[in-house]
């Protein structure tokens, strides 16, 4: 199935499931409310249930975004159609439980009076309805695949090596295809190709052009265009190691995009908005503490309050990063004298008990308070709350492995996987880079929230800081 079709089907599934979750809440209330009316004075073991008005209606509205977010985080819409039933049951059970807990939290935070018994019953009903829908979809899909009139009759076009590989991959996928035959455009003429389309009443043509002349491929696509037959060009002309390939349009022309970093999606847009709002809130929340720290830094050692340094930002573009000054003013000049004490491999400089650090500097570095001014960099769009830590420009220039520069392909952050993995314990720069690339390759909003959560004890207890 084409990725476009998969995304459309996933969106349909999401809205059906969200509707079923909303119906489940209404049904849970209806069952409890009418059971209460029937039992009357005997209903002494349960909370009194009010009508489906303000409080329950707020939960009714909340359940749609909460259920969509939870099901998405559980990977419910990324699984194949014929995932094992046990895995579906486990994913759905977790999602229903988390959604129910989410509604209980909403009920508490908004000081609503909805009965927890209704919310718990909602979780069981939602599981039954959504799982019933899953079984219905599974049955309907098998029914469709078994009927020949719904199957797409396709031919595979390319050299035998490519078409054989395509056939093997398609057999592993329970899709509604009937493969009519395999043909090599280098061996048959366009006239023969058109005759095959007519003879077998072909619905679609899948072309692998890796080892076929583009001129012949173009003529085959033009023939399909005239016949009104859908043609799929398998665009695997170039071998890439980690890049994900997508198709887009540029100046009205189709283009192939090779990307080894997270693309611009709704999740990426949410991350940017969350960074701006989150950094602003944190800056306002901690402003009294920051003013006190600024005053202490000024009074305890000569020099400016803030330390400014050129760091490598997105794709290596330099920007001015701010920190509370935690070292003596001539720290950069003294750095060369301490090169022999460097404990990090690679271009990065780290020293335990750095003699350049001031007395107050040691305290604010231990609890990462010196990093708080970087919230300004986040608000300015130069940094993110979560991302690889920005390195000084001169250290980036000393990278001995070009692959290390991919850590610059996303905005640097206040915290990262390295930050929550025992900062001082990671002394190998390659391991540091590996953690950064692991973050980039597996990025998701959930991973960002997880890293932010793990950062809290690191900051509070000064774990791994220097």
Q: What is the pLDDT of residues 44-64, one digit of tens each?
A: 344 566 666 667 777 888 888
Question: How far is 113 from 181, CA to CA, in rounded Å?
Answer: 65
Q: How confident is the model at residue 73 (pLDDT cuts 50, 70, 90)?
A: confident
Q: What is the Cα–Cα distance from 188 to 163, expressed in whole angstroms?
A: 15
- What average pLDDT does the segment 245-265 reach? 73
Q: pTM, whole model, 2 decimals?
A: 0.62
Mean pLDDT of 118-133: 90
Please state the rounded mean pLDDT for residues 181-206.
87
Check whether 415 has a pLDDT greater than 50: yes
Give the contacts of 327 (CB within 8 A, at least 6 positions apart). Answer: 307, 354, 356, 357, 358, 361
Question: DSSP per residue over 288-332, as a string?
Answer: HHHHHHHHHHHHHSSS-SEEEEEEE-GGG-EEEEEEE--B-TTHH
| Residue among 87, 100, 189 at smallest CA distance from 138 | 87
pLDDT band at 76 (very low <50, low <70, confident <90, very high): confident
**pLDDT for residue 45:** 40
Q: How confident is the model at residue 2 (pLDDT cuts 50, 70, 90)?
A: low
Query: Using CA atoms, how far apart are residues 287 and 278, in angstroms rounded to an integer?
Result: 14
In the predicted structure, residue 412 carries a pLDDT above the cut 90:
yes
Tens of pLDDT, residue by residue over 303-357, are: 899 999 999 998 888 999 999 998 888 777 777 767 767 767 767 777 777 778 8
Domains observed in the chain: 3-146 (no CATH), 149-237 (3.40.50.10700), 266-461 (no CATH)
pLDDT at 187 over 50: yes
Residue 277 has pLDDT above 90, yes or no: yes
H or E element: which one contains 415? strand 413-415
Q: What is residue 427's predicted lDDT score, i.e. its pLDDT?
A: 63
Residue whose C-alpha is closest to residue 387's, from 310, 459, 464, 443: 443
pLDDT at 430 over 60: yes
Quote the mean pLDDT of the chain: 81
Distance (Å, whole) CA 392 – CA 319: 10
The candidate with the shortest Cα–Cα distance to 374, out of 365, 383, 364, is: 383
Whole-number Å distance between alpha carbons of 236 and 208: 8
CA dihedral 397, 402, 406, 409 (to 10 degrees): 50
Mean pLDDT, residues 370-389: 93
Whether the per-residue pLDDT at 224 is higher than 80: the answer is yes
């Amino acid at each position: 199935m084409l990725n476009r079709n998969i995304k459309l089907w996933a969106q349909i599934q999401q809205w059906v499931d969200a509707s079923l979750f909303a119906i489940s809440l209404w049904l849970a209330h209806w069952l409890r409310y009418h059971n209460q009316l029937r039992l009357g004075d005997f209903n002494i073991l349960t909370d009194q249930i009010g009508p489906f008005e303000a409080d329950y209606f707020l939960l009714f509205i909340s359940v749609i975004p909460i259920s969509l977010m939870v099901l998405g985080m559980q990977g419910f819409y990324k699984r194949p159609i014929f995932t094992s039933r046990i895995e579906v049951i486990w994913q759905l059970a977790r999602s229903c439980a988390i959604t129910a807990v989410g509604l209980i939290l909403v009920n508490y935070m908004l000081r609503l009076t909805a009965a927890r018994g209704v919310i718990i019953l909602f979780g069981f009903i939602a599981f039954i309805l959504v799982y019933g829908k899953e079984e219905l979809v599974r049955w309907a899909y098998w029914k469709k695949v078994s009927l020949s009139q719904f199957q797409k009759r396709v031919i595979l076009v390319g050299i035998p090596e490519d078409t054989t590989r395509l056939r093997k991959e398609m057999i592993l996928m329970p899709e509604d295809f009937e493969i009519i035959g395999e043909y090599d455009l280098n061996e048959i003429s366009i006239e023969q190709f058109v005759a095959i389309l007519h003879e077998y009443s072909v619905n679609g043509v899948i072309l692998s052009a890796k080892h076929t002349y583009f001129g012949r491929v173009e003529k085959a696509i033009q023939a399909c265009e005239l016949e009104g037959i859908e043609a799929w060009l398998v665009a695997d002309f170039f071998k890439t190691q980690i890049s994900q390939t997508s198709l887009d349009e540029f100046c009205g022309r189709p283009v192939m995009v090779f990307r080894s970093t997270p693309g611009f999606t709704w999740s990426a847009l949410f991350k940017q908005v969350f960074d701006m709002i989150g950094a602003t809130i944190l800056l306002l929340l901690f402003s009294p503490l920051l003013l006190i720290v600024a005053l202490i830094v000024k009074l305890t050692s000569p020099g400016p309050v803030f330390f400014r340094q050129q760091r490598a930002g997105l794709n290596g573009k330099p920007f001015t990063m701010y920190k509370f000054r935690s070292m003596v003013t001539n720290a950069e000049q003294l750095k060369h004298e301490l090169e022999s004490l460097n404990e990090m491999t690679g271009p990065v400089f780290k020293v335990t008990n750095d003699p350049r650090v001031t007395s107050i500097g040691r305290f604010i570095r231990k609890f990462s308070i010196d990093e708080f001014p970087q919230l300004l960099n986040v608000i300015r769009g130069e940094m993110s709350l979560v991302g690889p830590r920005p390195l000084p420009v001169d250290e980036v220039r000393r990278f001995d492995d070009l692959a290390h520069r991919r850590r610059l392909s996303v905005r640097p952050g206040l915290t990262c996987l390295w930050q929550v993995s025992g900062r001082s314990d990671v002394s190998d720069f390659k391991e540091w880079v590996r953690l950064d690339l692991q973050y980039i390759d597996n990025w998701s909003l959930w991973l960002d929230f997880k890293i932010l959560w793990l950062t809290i004890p690191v900051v509070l207890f000064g774990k791994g800081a220097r």
